[in-house]
Amino acid sequence: MSDTDWIVVTDEAARAAAHAALRAAGCDEAHARATAAVLVRAEQDGCASHGLFRLPGFVAALRCGKATGCAAPDVTYLAPGVVRVDGKRGLSPFPTEVARQEIAKLARTNGIAAAAISNVHHFSALWVDIEPLVDQGLGALVCTAYVPFVAPAGAAQRFFGTNAMAFGFPTDDGGLIFDQASAATARGELQIAARDGKPAPEGAGVGPDGLPTRDPAQILLGAQSPFGGHKGSSIALMVELLAGVLIGQPTSPEAGREEAARGALEDTGPPNGGVLLIAFDPQKFGDAEGWRAHAASFFADLRALPGVRLPGDRRKAERARVARDGVRLPAALWRQVVAAGAEAAGGTRPYNRD
């Protein structure tokens, strides 16, 4: 795309436009606020594949009736350190907020706590889900499955989801957080590459014929590859068990079958599924007086290595840049976001996926 195909807006404008679109699609205030916040946070951190690019998918899930935008999450205590947060087929950001509040309290008391977040539609960045816990001085882990897009190591057919996970650890300078898919390339990055006419990274996946390709459109029709071969495949399997089997939620193949009954997998937004969220308090693991200094010393040694960049360094730099320069978006996407919110402003223009 040329420079004329882009637009720069403030993060406040981006949040307001996303909020309006979600309200127009049927979200109540709590769901619209929480969902707009996570999408704009991704934009602020320079992750276009999980920012407003994901808004049309959330809106599609709401518009077709697959997801609800006004369900109040139910919280059930299953054990002293385990809660279930039933999102009642709502969008994931607001139930995740509720889950964070519950397990933060439990982790302070028990040392560790987990939330089984069920019946939600997750479509956003995972680091945003755990950053508030890390900001409170807690460590955190979160993972979720998806629908079949990734071929297990040795296969050429879809089976696993992209099955992302994020881990965070508190530090004196804002915390360490990494977020990664078990696929070699995030699906959103392939979609953006296809949109922009750019090649996929080497080893990103295979086409419908099962042969390796760098054409992102063909990979989207075929199957993505796990990162690191059997190692990424094993992590994808772990996520299926933790965010699916363990908490009684659909695995990727099961979610895929439910989605297939509704039509094309990517036409109606994210599937219904589960999220496993864990928080732990470093103060409760035997080194209350020394863990923070120990972490600082470890990271200092790591940063001293030539060429090393810690996970999250680029994201923090992007957050500072976007705060100064604004959010840069494809003009067509911005028009789509604004159009989707027209009803909330009293307009009558229909939602347009083009």
In this predicted model, what pLDDT tens digit does every residue of 287-324 receive, in sequence order?
A: 999 999 999 999 999 999 999 999 989 999 999 999 99
Pair of tokens at residue 326: 């604004």
Catalytic residue (choose from 19, 50, 121, 122): 50
For 17-40, write each residue's pLDDT tens digit.
Answer: 999 999 999 999 999 999 999 999
Mean pLDDT across 41-61 = 95
- Reported confidence tier of residue 352, pLDDT bands at 50, 70, 90: very low
Domains in the chain: ranges and CATH: 1-63+313-354 (1.10.1530.10), 73-183+226-311 (3.30.1370.60)
| Region of residue 135 (left: phi > 0; alpha: psi -120 to 50; beta: else) | alpha
Contact by Cβ (8 Å): 90, 73: yes
**Residue 124 known to be catalytic:** no
**Residue 49 known to be catalytic:** yes
For 251-276, write each residue's pLDDT tens digit.
Answer: 999 999 999 887 755 678 899 999 99
Extract the runs of DSSP E, i.e. beta strands, from the chain: 6-9, 74-79, 82-91, 112-121, 139-144, 165-169, 176-180, 205-206, 223-224, 273-280, 327-330
Catalytic residue (choose from 49, 258, 318, 343): 49
Return the C-alpha torsion angle 300, 303, 309, 310, nearest 10.
-20
- Across the chain, mean pLDDT equals 93
pTM to 2 decimal places: 0.92
Q: Is the pLDDT of residue 244 over 60?
A: yes
Q: Is the pLDDT of residue 353 over 80?
A: no
Catalytic residue (choose from 102, 131, 189, 240): 189
For 82-131, write each residue's pLDDT tens digit.
Answer: 999 999 999 999 999 999 999 999 999 999 999 999 999 999 999 999 99
For 3-13, write each residue's pLDDT tens digit.
Answer: 569 999 999 99
**Residue 122 known to be catalytic:** no
Residue 264 backbone dihedrals phi, psi, to 5 degrees: -60, 140
Q: Is the pLDDT of residue 2 over 90?
A: no
pLDDT for the residue numbered 267: 74
